[in-house]
Amino acid sequence: MNTLTDRFRPLTGHRLFWPALVLVVMLAANTVYRPGFLSVEVKEGHLYGTPVDILRLSAPLILVALGMTLVIATGGIDLSVGSLCAISGAIACLHISEASDQNSLSTVFTALALAFGVALVLGAWNGLLVAVIGIQPIIATLILMVAGRGLAQLITEGQIITINSGPYRAIGLGHVLTLPLAIIIAVAAALLVAALTRRTALGLIVESVGGNAEASRLAGIRSGRIVFLVYVVSAACAAIAGFMMTANVSSADGNAAGLWIELDAILAVVIGGTSLAGGRFSLGGTILGALIIQTLTTTVYAMNIDPQTSLLFKAVVVIAVCLIQSPAFRARVSRRRGATTPRPTTRQPEKEQVSA
Partner 1 sequence: MTGSRPVLTMTGISKTFPGVRALHDVDFRLFAGEVHALMGENGAGKSTLIKALTGVYEIDEGTITLDGEQVAFSGPMQAAAHGVSTVYQEVNLCPNLSVAENVFIGREPRRLGVIRWGETRRRARELLARLDLDIDVTALLGTYSLAVQQMVAIARAIDVRARVLILDEPTSSLDADEAAQLFRVMRQLRDEGLGILFVTHFLDQVYGIADRITVLRNGTLVGEYRTEELPQFSLVEKMIGKELDVLERLDEQPRRVVSSRADATALVDTAELGRKGAVAPFTLRIHAGEVVGLAGLLGSGRTEVARLLFGADRADHGQIRVDGGKAPLRNPVQAIDRGIGFCSENRRAEGIVPDLSVRENMMLAMQAARGWLRPIPRRRQDELVDRYVQALSIRPANPDLPVRNLSGGNQQKVLLARWLITEPRLLILDEPTRGIDVGAKAEIQKLVVELSDGGMAVLFISAELEEVLRLSHRVAVMRDRTMVAQLTNDDTLDADRVMRTIASGTHRKEVQR
Segment near partner 1 (CB under 8 A), from 6-14, 97-105, 167-175, 203-211?
203-211
* Distances from the Cα of 100 to the Cα of 60, 170, 289, angstroms: 29, 19, 42
CA angle centred on 180, ends 176 and 185, rounded to 5°: 85
Q: State the nearest-atom distance from the C-beta of 221 to partner 1, in Å.
A: 4
Q: How many residues bind partner 1 (CB under 8 A)?
A: 28
Strands 40-43 and 46-49: antiparallel
Question: For residues 207 and 253, which CB has a smaller minimum distance to partner 1 in the complex?
Answer: 207
Task: Please give the residues from 269 up to 288 whose contact with partner 1 meets the rule CB under 8 A.
Answer: 279-280
Residues 205-224 that bind partner 1 (CB under 8 A): 205, 207-208, 211-212, 214-222
User: Binding to partner 1 by residue 134, rule CB under 8 A?
Assistant: no
How far apart, in whole angstroms, are the C-alpha atoms of residue 172 and residue 244?
5
Check residue 328 for interaction with partner 1 (CB under 8 A).
Answer: no
Between strands 251-253 and 179-180, the pairing is unpaired
CB of 10 to partner 1, least distance (A): 14
Q: How many CB atoms lie within 10 A of CB 308?
A: 7
Contact between 351 and partner 1 (CB under 8 A)?
yes
* Amino acid (1-letter code) at residue 44: E
Measured from the CB of residue 79, what is the shortest distance to partner 1 in angstroms?
25
Binding flag, residue 349, partner 1 (CB under 8 A): yes
Tell whether the torsion through CA atoms of 253, 257, 259 and 262 is positive or negative.
negative
Dist CA 143 CA 289 (whole Å): 27
If binding is defined by CB under 8 A, does position 42 make contact with partner 1? no
Site for partner 1, rule CB under 8 A: 199-202, 204-205, 207-208, 211-212, 214-222, 226, 279-280, 349, 351-352, 354-356
